[in-house]
Amino acid sequence: MIALGAILVLAAVFYYSYNANKPRFVWRDSWNKHAYSEKSDQPYGTEAIHRLLNGYFPGKKLTDIKKGLVEELPKDSPGGSIYVFIGEGMYLDSLDLDHLFAFVAAGNTAFIASKTLPFELMADLPYVECNDWEWGDYAAIEEATVQMSMREPHALNPSKTSMHYADRNQVVPYTWHYIESYYFCDSMPSFPIGYLNDTLVNFTRCPYGKGRFMFHTNPIIFTNYSLLRAETQSYVEGVLSWFPEGDLYWDVASRVSEAVARRRNSSDWDKQKDEHLLSYILQQPALAWAWYLLAAMALAWLIFRAKRRQRIIPVLPQNENSSYEFISTIANLHFREKNYQGLCIQGMKLFLAQVRERYGMVVPVNPETNLPRVDDDYFRRLSTVSEVPEVQVRDIFTQHSATVRYQPTEEMMVDLHVAMEEFWKKAK
């Protein structure tokens, strides 16, 4: 118990010492578990804006999309809902894109704040039709401090707001993104609603169906560090003033790093790169379960098939002693022919063979008379080793001698057999 207590005390000291030396805040805007995460209270997490939107409109709710747009974004919403994405980059497959377009076309709003956009998303928006310009993603400038302003009358504070990026509370240069002016023309319904350094568009609105898309090129403005600065709050309120009152859907599932998003982007909009071949099947519950069941059955078949296979072992017949069959056949033959003498001779041979095997006493048989060559000494020794009376031993040889010298009857044969059986019953 003392040793265990000492270990626990040392572990506690080590834990608190490690945490004391660990920096409290993660300042880098690199892609990690803190950047743009709605669960992170670090400078570049989005916990503050997430909490602000939760209950921003009275009686409306905020829902986190964690699985995907197809599963959790209501495609047939009657209008008035807002889809919100804030992150470095986003990735949507073809099904997600179709679902998002249907959501907006029904009269809803999609607000996307990111450093880059999927080219497949912009392919169906009016930007590519203006002056035949092909969408080439956001442009960028690198400065330490920039000025941002909102278009009236939605701007709560029409004056410019100073924005900067900080590392350990020190202002450092940062890459700010904007949309080139040649993507806007009078013939297109899309128009700028926010500017960077007076002339560079960083916030735009684009109608689609009954709804609208809104794009902001600098998601860093909506992080904890920027939102908790007093001078930034009025600008963020101006951005949120463009939101219609309705339920909000915060997209967590589509958020990826800027590097990953740019690799997935392609100017060839007809090709859906990096899209899984089973995307449609896995998006449909019935087809997904059928696919999983098929895969499980195939796996089970492979597992059982992989076992070592060998030819079927044939069933062998039970071993039988053919000697007994031969003896039985010969005996039946002699008995049927009433060859009692032959049976008696064979019986004596078997008797002498058993004596030789059991007691080691060898008796020669005269081949002419078929009589064993025995004497009084043999009878005495056999009686001694077998513990059978000598009279009973002599009786066996006497009966056998009678069956050989004379033509035996069936009764004589049976008596000889019974005498031999009695000998072996008493023999030791």
Confidence of residue 273 (pLDDT cuts 50, 70, 90): very low
pLDDT at 86: 95
pLDDT at 81: 93
Nearest to 193 by CA among 201, 181, 185: 201
- Mean pLDDT calculated for residue range 347-371: 85
Q: Which amino acid is at 229?
A: R
List the structure tokens of 63. 């829902």
Contact 44, 36 (CB under 8 A): yes
Contact 242, 205 (CB under 8 A): yes
Contact 175, 142 (CB under 8 A): yes
Q: Which of 286-295, 312-321, 342-351, 376-385 has the lowest mean pLDDT?
A: 312-321
Confidence of residue 94 (pLDDT cuts 50, 70, 90): confident
Element (H, E) at 177: strand 174-178
pLDDT at 177: 94
pLDDT at 157: 53
Contact 92, 124 (CB under 8 A): no
Encode burial over 6-43: b for 16+ CB neighbours within 10 A, e otherwise.
Answer: eeeeeeeeeeeeeeeeeeeebbebebeebbbbbebebb
Is pTM beyond 0.95? Reply is: no
Strands 174-178 and 139-143, by their bridges, are antiparallel
Q: What gap in Å lies between CA 200 and CA 194, rounded to an integer?
A: 8
pLDDT at 32: 63
Q: What gap in Å lies between CA 199 and CA 178, rounded to an integer?
A: 10
Confidence of residue 265 (pLDDT cuts 50, 70, 90): low
Strands 82-86 and 109-113, by their bridges, are parallel
Give the residue, 172 or 340, on which the prediction is more confident.
172
pLDDT at 338 over 60: yes
Q: What gap in Å lies between CA 136 and CA 358, rounded to an integer?
A: 110
Contact 253, 96 (CB under 8 A): no
pLDDT at 322: 59
pLDDT at 248: 94
Q: What gap in Å lies between CA 204 and CA 190, rounded to an integer?
A: 7
Nearest to 175 by CA among 149, 200, 204, 205: 200
Tell the residue number behind the tokens 């098929």, with chain if given.
Answer: 294
pLDDT at 321: 61
- What phi-psi label fits residue 278: left (phi over 0), alpha (psi between -120 and 50 degrees) or beta? alpha
Give the residue, 252 or 347, on which the prediction is more confident.
252
Confidence of residue 342 (pLDDT cuts 50, 70, 90): confident
Q: What gap in Å lies between CA 316 and CA 230, rounded to an integer?
A: 95
The conformation of residue 135, written as its DSSP 8-state character, comes to: P
pLDDT at 186 over 80: no
Q: What gap in Å lies between CA 187 and CA 106, rounded to an integer?
A: 24
pLDDT at 146: 93
Q: Which domains does the chain have, with CATH numbers?
A: 27-265 (3.40.50), 322-426 (no CATH)
Tell the residue number behind the tokens 């679902």, with chain if given.
Answer: 99
Element (H, E) at 65: strand 62-65
List the structure tokens of 183. 């993507």
Q: Which of 168-172, 246-250, 315-319 has the lowest mean pLDDT?
A: 315-319
pLDDT, tens digit, for every residue of 413-425? Answer: 888 888 888 888 8
pLDDT at 368 over 90: no
pLDDT at 21: 55
Q: What gap in Å lies between CA 92 and CA 103, rounded to an integer?
A: 14
Q: What gap in Å lies between CA 353 and CA 347, rounded to an integer?
A: 10
Confidence of residue 51 (pLDDT cuts 50, 70, 90): very high
pLDDT at 272: 47
> Mean pLDDT of all residues in the chain?
82
pLDDT at 397 over 50: yes
pLDDT at 175 over 80: yes
SS3 at position 194: strand
Element (H, E) at 81: none
Nearest to 64 by CA among 38, 42, 41, 91: 38
pLDDT, tens digit, for every residue of 113-156? Answer: 999 988 888 877 866 556 566 778 889 999 999 999 987 655 55
pLDDT at 219: 94
- CA gyration radius, the chain: 53
Confidence of residue 270 (pLDDT cuts 50, 70, 90): very low
Sign of the four-CA dihedral 84, 59, 75, 214: negative
pLDDT at 63: 93
Q: What gap in Å lies between CA 305 and CA 312, rounded to an integer?
A: 16
Count of Cβ atoms closer than 10 Å to residue 81 Cβ? 23
pLDDT at 377 over 60: yes
pLDDT at 187 over 70: no
